[in-house]
């Protein structure tokens, strides 16, 4: 089973090292000529496509096997990266977003479910958090190194197109790694309809699941919009040149990798409730401090996002895998949570794009952060039973 963990780490490192991530907004707008609103529309298309495919792809992974889903997802992600690289107009970018969204949906939930069931096969579920910590650390550390190298080697005269080509190649390498995975045995594989209906029933029926999903939506919005919508405009306002965007995001990922290493210790020492409380508080504080930021040194504030991003998925997957007690539909339950997070984030990213085009950056960030906090108001209204 140690081999399974190694394969999981390799898959995470290759398929999640998005070397183009520091430059998305700049690439699509300044380099390829799209407007901020069109950029927001593309992000909405991505999130809503993932939303539409999230649960069906999770059900496919539960029905036909997680390994196949991971192989297909990695290949399709790679093709999406290649299409981004050759895109020069809005509709070609739409094609790239559709491919990348489809690949993301296939992978989402399936990799964590495969890891959990692989460990459960030998009654080693207690090691899951540690393995997830390793996965989070490895891909964030690999991304940090890759992004520094991207600044040095893949950005030519402000054009980061090579980062898209290299990221696509890494995704194909991840597909080869997934081919070596062994599918954990399942006592009975239900039909796609049974898996989907029963997983939806689990979300509603099991105390604590909906409560946690509402919380998760809020954290996801705060995390994703800070990078997807505001990272490039904020760095530009701080006077950071494009050739250094990758280095800044590498520092953010290093903060995330360190946080991932210590998440298990924080959970043991302070408990899940304390960690869950601290994560959104840290993100809201970061937004507040970024509002007046105007110097290159202020870019280090994004390390708060990195730290939260390093810890949060470990906590979230641990809770959801524990609550989703039925292994035959575990990937689908995780996909439902991811679907709801992405559809909400897609709407907020579109709002952020409109705000960036019609107001100033501080206003756009303040409004977006306020909207991101709204899901937390639902948490007290939903059934308890979430982690203690």
Give domain limits for the chain.
Answer: 2-181+191-381
- Where does the pLDDT of residue 202 fall: very low under 50, low under 70, confident under 90, or very high at 90 and above? low
Instruction: Label residue 92 exposed, middle or buried (CB < 10 Å: 0-12, 13-18, 19+).
Output: middle
Identify the residue with better confidence: 386 or 113.
113
Render 125-148 in DSSP notation, one character per residue.
GGGHHHHHHHHHHHHHHHHHHHHH
C-alpha span between 314 and 258 (Å, rounded): 13
C-alpha span between 2 and 352 (Å, rounded): 43
Helix axes 330-358 and 209-228, enclosed angle (nearest 10): 40
24 within 8 A of 228, measured Cβ to Cβ? yes
Please provide residue 378's backbone torsions phi and psi, each rounded to the nearest 5 degrees: -80, -25
Please, what sign has the CA dihedral across residues 34, 85, 17, 185? positive
C-alpha span between 314 and 115 (Å, rounded): 13
Which residues touch 51 (CB under 8 Å, ≥6 apart)?
A: 339, 342, 343, 346
C-alpha span between 366 and 355 (Å, rounded): 10
The closest of 231, 312, 331 to 27, measured between CA atoms, is: 231
Judge whether residue 387 has pLDDT over 50. Answer: no
Helix axes 128-149 and 2-15, enclosed angle (nearest 10): 30
- The tokens for 309 are 């991003």
The CA angle 117-120-123, to the nearest 5 degrees, is 170
pLDDT of 200 reads 66
Judge whether residue 386 has pLDDT over 50. Answer: no
Judge whether residue 69 has pLDDT over 90. Answer: no
The closest of 256, 300, 298 to 279, measured between CA atoms, is: 256
Judge whether residue 198 has pLDDT over 80. Answer: no
Judge whether residue 28 has pLDDT over 70. Answer: yes
- Where does the pLDDT of residue 185 fall: very low under 50, low under 70, confident under 90, or very high at 90 and above? low
The model's pTM is: 0.71
What is the average pLDDT across 279-287? 95
- Where does the pLDDT of residue 21 fall: very low under 50, low under 70, confident under 90, or very high at 90 and above? confident
Find which of 8-17, 51-60, 151-160, 180-189 is predicted with most confidence, using mean pLDDT. 8-17
C-alpha dist (Å) from residue 369 to 2, 36, 62, 213, 222 = 41, 19, 35, 18, 6
- Residue 45's H or E segment, with its range, is helix 36-64
pLDDT of 365 reads 94
* 336 C-beta neighbours (distance < 10 Å), count: 23
Residue with tokens 């907004």: 25
Lowest mean pLDDT among 52-61, 145-154, 172-181, 236-245: 52-61
Judge whether residue 233 has pLDDT over 50. Answer: yes
Q: Tens digit of pLDDT for each residue in 211-230?
A: 888 899 999 999 999 988 89
Lowest mean pLDDT among 159-173, 332-346, 365-379: 332-346
- Where does the pLDDT of residue 89 fall: very low under 50, low under 70, confident under 90, or very high at 90 and above? very high
Q: Tens digit of pLDDT for each residue in 293-316?
A: 889 999 999 999 999 988 998 888
pLDDT of 279 reads 93
Q: Average model confidence (pLDDT) for the chain?
A: 84
C-alpha span between 287 and 304 (Å, rounded): 10
pLDDT of 182 reads 82
The closest of 252, 329, 364 to 66, measured between CA atoms, is: 329
C-alpha dist (Å) from residue 219 to 47, 96, 194, 305, 308 = 16, 26, 30, 10, 9
Judge whether residue 388 has pLDDT over 50. Answer: no
What is the average pLDDT across 352-366? 91
Identify the residue with better confidence: 184 or 49.
49
Identify the residue with better confidence: 97 or 123.
97
pLDDT of 330 reads 64
The closest of 164, 8, 19 to 83, measured between CA atoms, is: 164
What is the average pLDDT across 2-16? 86
Q: Hey, what's the torsion of the CAs at 126, 132, 137, 140, to 10 degrees?
A: -170
What is the average pLDDT across 139-153? 87
Partner residues linked to 156 by β-bridges: 159
pLDDT of 343 reads 82
C-alpha span between 335 and 218 (Å, rounded): 17
CATH class of the domain at 2-181+191-381: mainly alpha
Identify the residue with better confidence: 283 or 192.
283
C-alpha span between 180 and 72 (Å, rounded): 13
- Where does the pLDDT of residue 199 fall: very low under 50, low under 70, confident under 90, or very high at 90 and above? low
Percent helix / strand / coil, the chain, rounded to 5: 85, 0, 15
How many percent of the chain have pLDDT more than 70? 88
The closest of 140, 168, 183 to 75, measured between CA atoms, is: 168
Instruction: Label residue 342 exposed, middle or buried (CB < 10 Å: 0-12, 13-18, 19+).
Output: buried
What is the average pLDDT across 242-269? 87
Judge whether residue 1 has pLDDT over 60. Answer: no
Q: What is the DSSP letter of 89?
A: S
pLDDT of 187 reads 53
Please provide residue 159's backbone torsions phi and psi, each rounded to the nearest 5 degrees: -105, 115
């Amino acid at each position: 089973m140690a081999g399974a963990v190694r394969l999981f780490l390799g898959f995470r490192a290759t398929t999640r090292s998005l070397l183009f991530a520091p430059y998305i907004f700049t690439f699509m707008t300044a380099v390829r000529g799209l407007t901020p609103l069109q950029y927001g529309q593309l992000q909405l298309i991505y999130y809503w496509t993932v939303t539409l495919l999230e649960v069906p792809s999770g059900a496919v992974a539960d029905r036909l096997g997680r390994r196949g889903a991971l192989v297909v997802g990695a290949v399709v992600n790679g093709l999406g990266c290649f299409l981004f690289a050759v895109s020069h107009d809005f509709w070609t970018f739409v094609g790239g977003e559709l491919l990348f969204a489809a690949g993301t949906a296939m992978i989402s939930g399936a990799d964590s479910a495969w890891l959990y069931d692989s460990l459960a096969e030998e009654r080693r579920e207690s090691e899951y958090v540690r393995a997830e910590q390793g996965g989070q650390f490895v891909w964030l550390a690999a991304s940090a190194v890759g992004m520094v190298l991207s600044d040095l080697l893949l950005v030519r005269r402000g054009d980061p197109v090579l980062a898209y080509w290299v990221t696509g190649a890494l995704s194909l390498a991840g597909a080869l790694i997934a081919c070596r995975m062994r599918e954990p045995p399942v006592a009975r594989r239900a039909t796609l309809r049974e898996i989907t209906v029963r997983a939806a029933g689990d979300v509603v029926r099991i105390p604590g699941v909906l409560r946690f999903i509402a919380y998760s939506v809020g954290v996801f919005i705060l995390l994703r919009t800070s990078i997807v919508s505001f990272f490039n405009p904020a760095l530009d306002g701080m006077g950071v040149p494009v050739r250094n965007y990758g280095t800044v995001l590498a520092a953010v990922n290093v903060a995330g990798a360190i946080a991932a290493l210590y998440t298990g210790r924080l959970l043991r020492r302070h408990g899940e409730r304390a960690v869950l409380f601290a994560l959104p508080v840290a993100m809201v504080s970061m937004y507040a401090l970024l509002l007046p930021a105007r110097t290159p040194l202020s870019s280090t504030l994004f390390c708060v996002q990195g730290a939260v991003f390093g810890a949060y998925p470990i906590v979230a997957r641990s809770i959801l895998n524990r609550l989703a007690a039925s292994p035959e539909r575990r990937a689908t339950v995780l996909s439902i949570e991811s679907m709801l997070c992405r559809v909400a984030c897609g709407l907020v990213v579109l709002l952020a794009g409109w705000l960036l085009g019609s107001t100033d950056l501080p206003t756009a960030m303040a409004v977006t952060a306020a909207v991101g906090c709204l899901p937390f108001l639902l948490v007290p209204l939903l059934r308890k039973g979430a982690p203690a």
